[in-house]
Amino acid sequence: MTRLAAAPSPSVRVRAPGKINLSLRVGPVADDGYHPLVTVFQAVALVEEVTATQVAEGAGISLTVDGPQSGRVPLDASNLAWRAAELLAREVGLAPDVALHLAKGVPVAGGMAGGSADAAATLVACDALWGAGLPRAELHRLAAILGSDVPFALLGHTAVGTGRGHLLTPAMSRGEFHWAFATRDEGLSTPAVYGRYDELAATGALVPSADPAQDTALMQALRAGDPTALGPALHNDLEAAALDLRPELERTLEIARNGGALGAMVSGSGPTVAALARSRQHALAIAATWTAEGAADAVWCTTGPAAGARLL
């Protein structure tokens, strides 16, 4: 493979969004151990910023982090941003020499794909820094290797994901939607949530199904830009399993609903609770009530949809 010359730019900064699953439908576990998914992603304006800086040859990868909950982020090769830099370097025939700095803006371990956003931003940043010039389709292929949510962080906006969630079809969405999020310091293990989901399915308490036709009302609400219609259409097959493991989340949901949320649900595998609000002021009011009632360790308000990974 031809070795590429590094670009002269000393650093590159890229922003990528967190996400919410407006709908998450989970099929029965397949022979490969994965569950087939049909999910509707929406990128939100809680973002990660990655700065990639050129370093001396042979320096390798270094990683620093700042922002909320940054102390919970690993600074070694287990970090998705680190792995993204290594993967891209192998792909283009360069040594992985780069200093990465992550500015956190997405809740950590909250099911909102902050790590995936870091990986997507790192792919775009290192591609530009090293002058690789990979087509966007190639970046998406690499993103899917890193994780199921990474391709959507590249794409952004609103999209339907199938397979493991990595096969994306952009979806039409009008207008702006206002969200409040309640997060917990103690995360929920995604494998544990899926395991409990399988246990509930085995008892007949739920029926696994990944049928996109079940989201017709949700897609119509998005196309119309109608938050009042979107709220009742929000759906998460993993919510029952997450609530079984963390029953205190029921109270967080109840507070949002009593506060007039248009819809409220556990986001993805949890433990974040998402509430769809009528306006920015309404989102702030829901978040304030969560705080006053001690129903969250942190609260966040934002809007969606948001753009995918992009150079700044």
Coil, strand or helix: which one is 12? strand
CB 161, CB 42: distance < 8 Å: no
Please give the full DSSP string across 240-305, using - where no structure is assigned: HHHHHH-TTHHHHHHHHHHTT-SEEEE-TTSS-EEEEESSHHHHHHHHHHHHHTT--SEEEEEEE-
With a CB cutoff of 8 Å and minimum separation 6, the contacts of 159 are 40, 41, 152, 168, 169, 170, 171
- pLDDT confidence bin for 30, thresholds 50/70/90: confident
Residue 66 corresponds to which tokens in the numbers above?
């700042």
* Prior bond of 232 cis (ω within 30°): no
Report if residue 79 sits inside a domain: yes
Of the two residues 210 and 138, the one the predictor is more confident about is 138
Q: Of 77, 256, 103, 260, whose CA–CA distance to 181 is shortest?
A: 256
In the prediction, which pLDDT does 6 show? Answer: 46
Residues 90 and 17 occupy one common structural domain: yes
129: Cβ–Cβ under 8 A, 6 or more apart, which residues?
6, 7, 9, 11, 12, 52, 53, 54, 98
Measured between alpha carbons, how far is 43 from 252 in angstroms, rounded to an integer? 23
Q: How many CA atoms lie within 13 A of 279 on its CB side?
A: 3
Partners of 298 in beta bridges: 183
23 backbone dihedrals φ, ψ, rounded to 5°: -140, 140
Within 13 Å and on the Cβ side, how many CA atoms surround 283?
Answer: 22
Nearest to residue 19, comparing CAs of 42, 2, 52? 42
Separation between Cα atoms, residue 292 and residue 250, nearest integer Å: 16
Domain boundaries, position 194: 177-304
Both 94 and 138 in one domain: the answer is: yes
Mean pLDDT for the stretch of residues 18-47: 92
| Number of Cα atoms under 13 Å in the Cβ half of residue 50 | 35
For residue 3, what pLDDT is reported? Answer: 47
pLDDT for position 203: 92
**Structure token digits, residue 195:** 């395991």
In a domain, residue 216? The reply is yes
Q: How far apart are CA 220 and CA 7, in angstroms?
A: 45
Residue 244 sits in the same domain as residue 266: yes
DSSP string computed for 184-198: -SS---HHHHHHHHH
211 confidence band (pLDDT: 50, 70, 90): confident
Residue 120 belongs to what H/E stretch? helix 114-129
- Judgement on whether residues 24 and 94 belong to the same structural domain of the protein: yes
**Eight-state DSSP code of residue 261:** -
146/211 same-domain check: no
Name the pairing type of β-strands 11-26 and 235-236. Answer: parallel
Encode pLDDT of 149-172 as tens digits: 999 999 999 999 999 888 999 999
pLDDT, residue 212, reads 81
Residue 309 lies in a domain: no
Is the pLDDT higher at 29 or at 45?
A: 45
Question: Domain check: are 18 and 100 in the same one?
Answer: yes
Write out the catalytic residue numbers.
Answer: 19, 149
The domain tally of the chain equals: 2
- Asked if residue 6 is part of any domain, the answer here is no
Tell me, yes or no, whether 120 and 200 share the same domain.
no
124 and 249 in a single domain? The answer is: no
Residue 9, pLDDT score: 61
- The mean of the pLDDT values for the chain is 93
Phi-psi region of 210 (alpha: psi -120 to 50; beta: other; left: phi over 0): beta
CB of 253 within 8 A of CB of 223? Answer: no
Query: If residue 126 lies in a helix (H) or strand (E), which one and from where to where?
Result: helix 114-129
Say if residue 284's pLDDT is above 70. Answer: yes
The confidence band for 121, taking pLDDT boundaries of 50, 70 and 90, is very high
148 shares a domain with 190? no
SS3 state of residue 302: strand
The pLDDT of residue 7: 45
At which of 145, 170, 195 does a domain end? 170
Each residue of 93-119: pLDDT tens digit? 999 999 999 999 998 878 899 999 999
Residue 311 lies in a domain: no
Q: φ, ψ for residue 132 (rounded to 5)? A: -70, -40
Q: Is the domain of 151 the same as that of 254?
A: no
Q: Does residue 245 sit within a domain? A: yes
CATH number of the domain where residue 229 is located: 3.30.70.890
Residue 3 lies in a domain: no
- pTM recorded for the entire structure: 0.91
Contact 271, 186 (CB under 8 A): yes
Query: In this structure, are 36 and 115 located in the same domain?
Result: yes
In a domain, 112, yes or no: yes
Please identify, among 170, 205, 236, the residue that sits at the C-terminal boundary of a domain: 170
**120 and 209 within one domain:** no
Per-residue pLDDT of 288-312, as tens digits, reads: 999 999 999 999 999 999 999 999 9
